[in-house]
Amino acid sequence: MEMFLSVLNIIGLLLLIGVLYIMHKKQITFSKRVFTALGFGVGFGLILQFIYGPSSEVLLASVPWFNLVGVGYVKLLQMIVMPLVFISILAAFTKVTIGKNFGKMAGSILGILIGTTAIAAIVGISVTLLFGLDASEIVQGEAELSRGISMEETSETVIERALPEQILDLLPANPFLDFTGARSTSTIAVVIFAAFLGFAYLTVSRKEPEHAAVIKKGIDAVYALVMGVVRIVLRLTPYGVLAIMARTVATSDFGAIYSLGKFVLASYVALAIMFAIHLLIITMTGLNPLTYVKKASDVLLFAFTSRSSAGALPLNIQTQTKRFGVPDGIANFAGSFGLSIGQNGCAGVYPAMLAVMIAPTVGQPIDAQFIVTLIAIVAISSFGVAGVGGGATFAAILVLSALNLPIALAGLLISVEPLIDMGRTTVNVSGAMTAGVTTAKVSGELNVETYNDSVEHQTVEA
């Protein structure tokens, strides 16, 4: 019987995929198909949740097949991350879109990423105090205790690494290893390697122009090939969003979410404020923030459903270049660094909220000195997170350990972690795009005409 019901669930998913495919054949816009997929996913997930319950054997048998579509799509996106980052940055040098201003461009992107993370910490602190959140009020179950113990064990290796060691991990000692994504800092290492090759190309173009012409022709050919693969994979976005959202909603523990509703609400208030700050930064550069929201909606929606900043990178870069008019080099630097440096949601809002919640449980007053120290640690650790794998868990471990706060208490939120992580990932990706757009505008390299053009005339698939 369970097998029969699982097959029915899979057929239901395939029927919805068929509807999305028909919409594609009818040339319905990419944005409408993505939002339709989101609606289908939420609706189908709620139906499965209502019929079976989140932990039923039927759902457990169905989820692997849902993952075949959802997780499979994310893996395809991750497959093209390294080639896309490498060839796009290298091609930017051949097009002379990066040159003497390389230092200023990289400094601007890093400054915006880390600066906005410090602001995110302030937002997280303020919202936590406003809502009066306290970790001592959260009930500890078996799962929460297990998660806390796991985080303590992880912290033993994390906190031993000094910041200089974490920065050294960014350098590509073996770029071929980093192309495999073997290290947590592999993406940034590939960025650095591509930049070195780019500067070498500029030297060759000055001294041996005939060789430079051959190199440029080869790079352009590889770039065209990689972008062809990117376009093929991105066409699968609606199907991936449908499967990921259906699985997420169907398997969510709404009882646990309700019991921690105050923290979930506070988290999303903080994340919404941070997103508004991104729009304010966009506005301050003289650009229309509503245009940013409209054109970024596809990639932000995917980040929300997939909870994967790395998976969203190809869509992130395509959105910056195709819809916002950001040069390839700046878009790739902003997107790549934003994967693990200055994550506004995971490394800014989240650890700051945890620290303020946990501090009272050990008698630590929330005074001016504590707040200033917390903001400084969040800003610094948001850079150091890259050396230990990135993500909210490591950011929380770094911040809490630096403040001598009990790390295990962070495990209390395991039941709502996926729900909150959706919002955090969205803000992370938005922060990276904000850094790219702002840097391009301030440096005078943004194609303002492309930015202001109607979204109906643009597509990330083109």
pLDDT surpassing 70 at residue 302: yes
Which pLDDT band, with edges at 50, 70 and 90, does 141 fall under?
very low
pLDDT (0 to 100) of residue 145: 47
Determine which of 90-94, 276-280, 288-292, 363-367 has the lowest per-residue pLDDT on average: 90-94
pLDDT surpassing 80 at residue 369: yes
Mean residue pLDDT across the chain: 83
As a three-state string, the secondary structure of the chain is CHHHHHHHHHHHHHHHHHHHHHHHHCCCCHHHHHHHHHHHHHHHHHHHHHHHCCCCHHHHHHHHHHHHHHHHHHHHHHHHHHHHHHHHHHHHHHCCCCCCCHHHHHHHHHHHHHHHHHHHHHHHHHHHHHHCCCHHHCCCCHHHHHHHHHHHHHHHHHCCCCHHHHHHCCCCCCHHHHCCCCCCCHHHHHHHHHHHHHHHHHHHHHHCHHHHHHHHHHHHHHHHHHHHHHHHHHCCHHHHHHHHHHHHHHHCCHHHHHHCHHHHHHHHHHHHHHHHHHHHHHHHCCCCHHHHHHHHHHHHHHHHHHCCCCCCHHHHHHHHHHHHCCCHHHHHHHHHHCCCCCCHHHHHHHHHHHHHHHHHHHCCCCCHHHHHHHHHHHHHHHHHHHHHCCCHHHHHHHHHHHCCCCHHHHHHHHHHHHHHHHHHHHHHHHHHHHHHHHHHHHCCCCCHHHHHCCHHHCCCCC
> Around Cβ 313, how many Cβ atoms within 10 Å?
27
Which pLDDT band, with edges at 50, 70 and 90, does 215 fall under?
very high
pLDDT (0 to 100) of residue 60: 83
pLDDT surpassing 60 at residue 304: yes
pLDDT (0 to 100) of residue 138: 59
Domain locations in the chain as residue ranges: 2-457
State which amino acid sits at residue 339. Answer: L
- Percent of all residues in the chain with a pLDDT value above 70, rounded to a whole number: 85
CA distance 225 to 215: 16
Q: Which residues, 6+ apart, have CB-to-CB distance to 227 below 8 Å?
A: 84
Which pLDDT band, with edges at 50, 70 and 90, does 393 fall under?
confident
CA distance 54 to 91: 47
Query: Is 431:275 a contact under the CB 8 Å cutoff?
Result: no
Specify the pTM.
0.79
Q: Give 260-275 pLDDT, tens digit per residue.
A: 788 889 999 999 999 9
Which pLDDT band, with edges at 50, 70 and 90, does 130 fall under?
very high
Higher pLDDT residue, 340 or 20? 20
pLDDT surpassing 90 at residue 398: no
What dihedral angle (degrees, nearest 10) is formed by the CA atoms of 221, 225, 227, 228? Answer: 140
CA distance 404 to 382: 18
pLDDT surpassing 90 at residue 167: no
pLDDT surpassing 90 at residue 136: no
CA distance 188 to 333: 9
User: In the predicted model, what is the mean pLDDT of residues 351-360?
Assistant: 89
Query: Is 436:326 a contact under the CB 8 Å cutoff?
Result: yes
Give the CATH class of 2-457: mainly alpha
User: In the predicted model, what is the mean pLDDT of residues 145-151?
Assistant: 50
